[in-house]
Structure 1
């Protein structure tokens, strides 16, 4: 039974841990605001999202945006601008609240009433690996039916837990070769 890679890249292989691609794909599906926070339009869009309802304000406070209502109003009116530190807090709070808001919807789309979602595993790049050390790794697909723990770890923003859950709930279902797909060049799925 294969285990996790301890010395990945020792012979020149290149790839990224699969859970990082999963997190990126889930972020794309969540539909974050595209305009950067440093532009006035992006800042206002995030602030409106975080202050639209009492529930959103409470979630923003729990996510780390702990400024007074007076300061928020000054930012919204354009009388003051947030500091770099507060811009980071706004962005973090926005992403956290957005993930919490779309998690249930994404989970329903990905699970598809037990049918799951087809995931494509694109193998790692071995072009820099000397010929005797190269492995035969091919493009694989897998239908992932259990997304609950994966989406929960993504929502919490817990990278280590997402890595464990991704390997234990999805990658291990590839069979005895699952260790070859811990690092990949891409993971694709759509919901």
Structure 2
């Protein structure tokens, strides 16, 4: 079994870690509010999401939103505007709470029916000298258990997500090392 890549891009290859591509795809499936937080509509949508119930408020506090309920009410009523630090806290709390809320749904969908087919697109070698280029091909893989990757993504633990990705791609056999870095990973839930 090959070792993990330690010096990716040394000869000019471009790509991202497969685990990062999986995190991006899971983020896309999550369906965050598209309007930026700097717009009034985006701010209000995030605040309503974080304050719609006592459970949501508690989750927001655990995720790092440290302002008082009175301050949140002033923001919702338009009497005050959050500072840049508060905007960052709101965005971070919103993404964390949204991930936690969507994780169960994603797990059910991704694990259902025997797993989910994942398309793996190889990294870009256009800048690599021909002598050092490898023959890479599009690959697909059925991942049957998504519990560990989704749990790592929910906790924003990229190291655990990377380990879960490597565990999943070892099913490709001796060529799994070609999929550690990719240009894209695609799947649907």
Short-chain TM bin: over 0.9
Q: Counterpart in 2 of 1:126?
A: 125
Q: Counterpart in 1 of 2:28?
A: 28
Q: Counterpart in 2 of 1:70?
A: 70
Whole-Å separation in 2 of the counterparts to 1:59 and 1:132: 53
Q: Counterpart in 2 of 1:94?
A: 94
Deviation, structure 1 residue 105? 0.4
Q: Mind listing any 5+ residue stretches in structure 2 that lack a counterpart?
A: none
Whole-Å separation in 2 of the counterparts to 1:89 and 1:160: 23
Whole-Å separation in 1 of the counterparts to 2:171 and 2:82: 47
SS, match of residue 185 in structure 1: strand
SS, match of residue 28 in structure 2: helix
Report the RMSD for the aligned CA atoms in angstroms.
Answer: 0.8
Q: Counterpart in 1 of 2:150?
A: 151
Q: Counterpart in 1 of 2:79?
A: 79
Moved more, 75-84 or 122-131: 122-131
Residue correspondences, number: 189
Whole-Å separation in 2 of the counterparts to 1:189 and 1:48: 30
Q: Counterpart in 1 of 2:12?
A: 12
Deviation, structure 1 residue 129? 1.1
Whole-Å separation in 1 of the counterparts to 2:158 and 2:87: 22
Q: Counterpart in 2 of 1:161?
A: 160
Whole-Å separation in 2 of the counterparts to 1:66 and 1:8: 40
Return the TM-score normalized by structure 2.
Answer: 0.98
Deviation, structure 1 residue 171? 1.3
